[in-house]
Amino acid sequence: MLNVNIANISVSVQGSFRDLLSNISFSVPQNSVYTILGKNGSGKSTLIKSFTSLLDSRFYKVKGGVEWKNVNLLNLKSEELLNIRKNEIRYVFQDSLNSLDPLKNVKYYFDNAECKKEKLEELLCEFQLPDYNSMILMHPYELSGGMLQRLNFVLALAINPQLIILDEPTSAIDSVNSLLSLKAIKNFVSRKNNSALIVTQDILFAQKVSDKIAFLSEGTLTDFIEVNELMNSNNSCINSFLNAYKKLSK
């Protein structure tokens, strides 16, 4: 479905560009959950934003290609990209509050989703959010961080995309809602030809939800490996991440 071949992503620093990430190459097949693990500041969010040209072109340069349905997304005009982001590739960002306009109530977003009320009610129930009639009156600033993240998940799933890209999906939710998200992701990729790509530093969640996992470290990405191979890998980047995670968990 998604084929990524990025030579490098660079950022402007004091008037000159320096590489942030390089040699990023992978494919996400249909009916799969692929997860990229990485520490804070490793460039996970930058990477996924580059796929559909969400990075500010004044400060970032992306060289390479991101193929979706045999089309390089990096070559598309803004109108074409907007259509793909709306209907085919949906993001659920970690910073949920800034993903929504605080002056607009939830009804505005439900109306823009062009989704039947019954489907929205079903999704709200699935994510243990207030009922439809209560939610449509609320504004984003009236919701907790966990509720906002789940609402963004609902908005992403409501339009039946083919790929969802999730940035730290468990960062603002408790263990119960983490299980709800896990179940929702699994259900999503089991239907039609859907897939999910996750970036996170939550290794326990990644192990439970993923088909394959890769590690973003030192500006590049390892190969994706099966979850059951995780603890037996000889890759230095993977072992470095695992050792750091074990220290944080103590």
For residue 244, what pLDDT is reported?
55
DSSP three-state, residue 163: strand
Q: Which of 5, 24, 23, 160 lies closest to 67, judged by CA? A: 5
Tell me: the pLDDT tens digits for 155-169?
Answer: 999 999 999 999 998
Contacts of 111 (CB under 8 A, 6+ apart): none
For residue 248, what pLDDT is reported?
46
- pTM of the predicted model, to two decimals? 0.90
Is the Cβ–Cβ distance between 224 and 35 less than 8 Å?
Answer: no
Provide the 10 A C-beta neighbour count for residue 239.
13
For residue 211, what pLDDT is reported?
94
List, for the chain, all residue ranges whose pLDDT scores fall below the cut of 50: 248-250
Number of residues written out for the chain: 250
Considering the domain 2-88+161-249 in this protein, what is its CATH number?
Answer: 3.40.50.300
- Let me know the angle formed at the C-alpha of 109 by 135 and 51, rounded to the nearest 5 degrees: 130
- φ and ψ at residue 5, rounded to 5 degrees: -140, 85
CA distance 112 to 133: 16
- φ and ψ at residue 54, rounded to 5 degrees: -85, -10
Provide the 10 A C-beta neighbour count for residue 160.
15
For residue 9, what pLDDT is reported?
96
